[in-house]
Structure 1
Amino acid sequence: MSCSSSSSGSEDEDEGFDSYRKGGYHAVRVGDSFAGGLYIAQRKLGWGQFSTVWLAYDTRSSKYVALKIQKSAPQFSQAAAHEIEVLSAITEGDPANVKCVVRLVDHFKHAGPNGQHPCMVLEFLGDSLLQLIKYNRYKGLELNRVREICKCILTGLDYLHRELGLIHTDLKLENILLYSTINPTKDPTRSGMTPILARPEGNPNGGATINIIEKKLKQRARRAVARISERRASMGGFAAPPKPSRRLDGIDLRCKVVDFGSACWADKLLAEEIQTRQYRAPEVILQSGYSFPADIWSFACIAFELATGEMMFTPKSGQGFSEDEDHLALMMELLGKMPRKIATSGARSKDYFDRYGDLKRIRRLKYRPLDRFLVDKFNFSDTDALEFAKFLCPLLDFEPDRRPTAQQCLQHPWLNVENLTQDEVKSASSVEKMSVGMTNLQIKVGKR
Structure 2
Amino acid sequence: MAPHQPCVKYQYVLASKSSTPKIVSVPDQDEESPADYNAGGYMVIKIDDTFKDGRYIVARKLGWGHFSTVWLIKDTHENRYSALKVVKSATRYAEAARDEIKLLSQVAAANPHHPGRPHVVSFLDSFQHRTLQETHVCIVFEPLGETLLALIQRNKKKGVPKPLVKVIAKQVLLGLQYLHDECDLVHTDIKPENILISIPDVEARIHAELSISPKPTSCHVGVPQPTKSRSGLTIPYRHASAHERRVQIFDSQPLSSPSSRSGSISASASSHNFQKKLSGTTPIGGAPVSQLRRNSDRADPAATPHDPPITHSGSSSTSSTISSTLSTPAASDSSVSTAPTSVGSADIPILTKIASLTITSAPPDAKFTLPLNAGIGMASEQHVSTSPLIQSHASSDIQHATSGPSLLTQTAPHQSSAPSLDRIPSSSSGVPVPSLPDSTPLSIKIADLGNATPSKRHFTEDIQTRQYRAPEAILGRHDWGTRADVWSVACVIFELLTAEYLFDPHGQGEMFTKDDDHMAQIIELLGDFPLDAKMGGRYSREIFDHAGALRYIKTLRPWPLNRVMTEKYLFSTSEADGLCSFLEPMLAVDQRERKEVRDIVDHHWLDVKDEEWVGVDGW
| TM-score of the two chains, using structure 1 as the length reference | 0.79
CA RMSD of aligned residues (A): 3.5
Residue in structure 2 matching 1:264, options 450, 453, 458: 453
C-alpha distance in structure 2 between counterparts of 1:193 and 1:26, whole Å: 27
Distance, in Å, in 2 between the alignment partners of 1:384 and 1:80 is 44
Give the drift of 1:57: 1.1
Asked if 1:101 corresponds to 2:141, the answer is no
Q: Shift of the alpha carbon at 1:139? A: 2.7
Specify whether residues 375 and 229 from structure 1 end up closer, same or farther in structure 2 by C-alpha distance, changes over 3 A only: same
Cα shift at 1:260: 1.0
- CA drift of 1:55 comes to 1.0
Equivalent residue letter for 1:208: Q
Q: How does 1:311-326 map to 2 (within 5 A)?
A: 311-319=501-509, 320-326=511-517
CA distance in 2, matches of 1:158, 1:298: 14
Distance 1:14 1:186, change over 3 A: farther
Which residue number corresponds to residue 84 of structure 1?
Answer: 101
Measured after TM superposition, the shift of residue 24 of structure 1 is 1.1
Matched residue SS, 2:558: coil
Contact 1:336 1:367 survives alignment (8 Å): yes
Other-structure match for 2:466: 277
Matched AA of 1:122: F
User: Residue 119 of structure 1: CA displacement?
Assistant: 0.4
Cα displacement (A) at 1:312: 0.3
The verdict on how the C-alpha distance between 1:114 and 1:139 changes in structure 2, with shifts beyond 3 A counting, is farther
Q: 1:35 to 1:211 in 2, by over 3 A?
A: closer
Please name the residue that 1:7 is paired with: none
Unaligned 5+ segments in structure 1 are 1-10, 213-217, 245-249, 420-448
Contact between 1:141 and 1:242, CA under 8 Å: does it hold in 2? no
For residue 75 of structure 1, what is the aligned residue in structure 2?
A: 92
* 1:74-101 residue CA offsets vs partner (Å, 9 max, x unmatched): 1111101100000011112244585100
1:38-70 Cα shifts (integer Å, max 9, x gaps): 111111111122111111111122211110001
Q: Which residue of 2 aligns with 1:378?
A: 569
Where does residue 172 of structure 1 map in the other structure? Answer: 191
| Alignment size in residue pairs | 392
* TM-fit CA distance, 1:12: 5.9
- Which among 237, 241, 248 is matched to residue 414 of structure 2? 241
> Is 1:58 aligned to 2:75, yes or no?
yes
Q: Which whole-Å deviations, capped at 9, do the CAs of 1:173-202 have from their partners, x for residues lacking one? A: 000000029xx9995145364999xx99xx
- 3-state SS, counterpart of residue 117 of structure 1: strand
Q: 1:134: which partner in 2?
A: 153
How many percent of aligned residue pairs carry the same amino acid? Answer: 36
Report if the CA contact (8 A) 2:85-2:140 is conserved: yes
Report the alpha carbon displacement of residue 402 of structure 1 after superposing the two structures with TM.
1.9
In structure 2, the partner of 1:110 is 129
Match of 1:292 in 2: 482
Matched residue type, 1:241: H
- Counterpart of 1:303 in structure 2 is 493
Give the aligned residue type for 1:261: G
**Cα 1:288–1:229 shift into 2, 3 Å:** closer
SS at match of 1:54: strand
Q: Which has the higher contact order (CA 8 A, sep 6+)?
A: 2
Unmatched tracts of structure 2, length 5 or more: 1-27, 222-244, 253-351, 371-406, 418-438, 611-619
Tell me if structure 2 keeps the 8 A contact 1:156–1:257. yes
Distance 2:513 2:413 in 1: 32
| Cα distance, 1:231 vs structure 2 | 7.3
Q: In structure 2, which of residues 44, 47, 68 is the aligned counterpart of residue 30 of structure 1?
A: 47
Tell whether the 8 Å contact from 2:57 to 2:73 is kept in structure 1 after alignment.
yes
- Counterpart secondary structure, 1:345: coil
Q: How does 1:155-234 map to 2 (within 5 A)?
A: 155-180=174-199, 187-189=205-207, 191=209, 193=211, 208-209=248-249, 227=363, 230=366
Counterpart Cα distance in 2 of 1:130 and 1:210: 23
CA contact (8 A) 1:352 1:361 kept: yes
- Structure number having the greater helix percentage: 1
What secondary structure, in the 3-state scheme, does the structure 2 residue paired with 1:414 have?
Answer: helix
The answer on whether the counterparts of 2:368 and 2:411 sit within 8 Å (CA) in structure 1 is no
1:15 aligns with 2:32: yes
8 Å contact from structure 1 (residues 43, 54) kept in 2: yes
Q: Distance in 1 between matches of 2:588 and 2:498?
A: 20
Q: Normalising by structure 2, report the TM-score.
A: 0.58
In the aligned structure 2, how far is the partner of 1:230 from the partner of 1:167? 31
